[in-house]
């Protein structure tokens, strides 16, 4: 009886093929599991970021820039260095709050999916007519107390940082 070398036996080749198939299937299953877990983590991170953005937008809608500035400053102070970037700037690029002095040049503007924060960038809604109407509701004595030595009331918008000058004598005709 002639002995067949082990390397040429059909049973060994079949065993190696099955082992290779099992190994390939195991690697594919791990790749699918890794990808699924990575996608779930990305979704969770995006949801958390969107939740933060929504809460900041709601805070802005309710109490405007001073409250938003305070909330971002508190969040930046509580966040370990390098874990998250917070930056609130006015329309002139002046930093109002956050853990950055300015946006890093090597990062694209609005990085991290924050482009969805558009509700925070509603723009300034103040105009001289509205401000004049609000100040006009005060008595002339109260308006005189608000005015500077030059007879002008300066209303500073906390959102856009513009100062709206209103002359006291302009209220006599309006």
Domain boundaries, the chain: 9-121, 128-171
How far apart (Å, rounded) are the C-alpha atoms in residues 172 and 169? 6
How far apart (Å, rounded) are the C-alpha atoms in residues 155 and 92? 18
pLDDT in tens, 73-117: 888 888 887 777 788 887 777 888 888 887 777 766 654 444 333
Please check the confidence at residue 159 and state whether its pLDDT lies above 80.
Answer: no
How far apart (Å, rounded) are the C-alpha atoms in residues 26 and 79? 40
**Distances from the Cα of 133 to the Cαs of 4, 7, 129, 141, in angstroms?**
104, 96, 6, 16
Write down how long the chain is.
174
pLDDT in tens, 12-54: 889 999 999 999 999 999 999 999 999 999 999 888 878 887 8
Q: Is the pTM value of this prediction over 0.85?
A: no
Please check the confidence at residue 139 and state whether its pLDDT lies above 90.
Answer: no
Torsion 93-95-99-101 (CA) sign: positive
């Amino acid at each position: 009886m002639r002995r067949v070398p082990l390397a040429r036996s059909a049973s060994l080749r079949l065993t190696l093929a099955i082992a290779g198939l099992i190994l390939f299937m195991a690697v594919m299953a791990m790749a699918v599991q890794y990808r699924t877990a990575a996608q779930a983590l990305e979704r969770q991170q995006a949801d958390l970021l969107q939740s933060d953005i929504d809460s900041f937008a709601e805070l802005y809608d309710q109490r405007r820039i001073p409250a938003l500035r305070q909330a971002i400053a508190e969040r930046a102070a509580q966040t370990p260095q390098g874990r998250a970037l917070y930056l609130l700037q006015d329309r002139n690029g002046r930093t109002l709050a956050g853990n950055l002095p300015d946006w890093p040049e090597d990062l694209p503007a609005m990085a991290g999916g924050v482009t969805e924060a558009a509700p925070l960038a509603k723009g300034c809604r103040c105009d001289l007519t509205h401000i004049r109407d609000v100040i006009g509701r005060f008595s002339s004595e109260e308006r005189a107390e608000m005015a500077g030595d030059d007879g002008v009331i300066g209303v500073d918008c906390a959102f856009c940082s513009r100062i709206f000058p209103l002359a006291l004598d302009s209220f006599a005709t309006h």
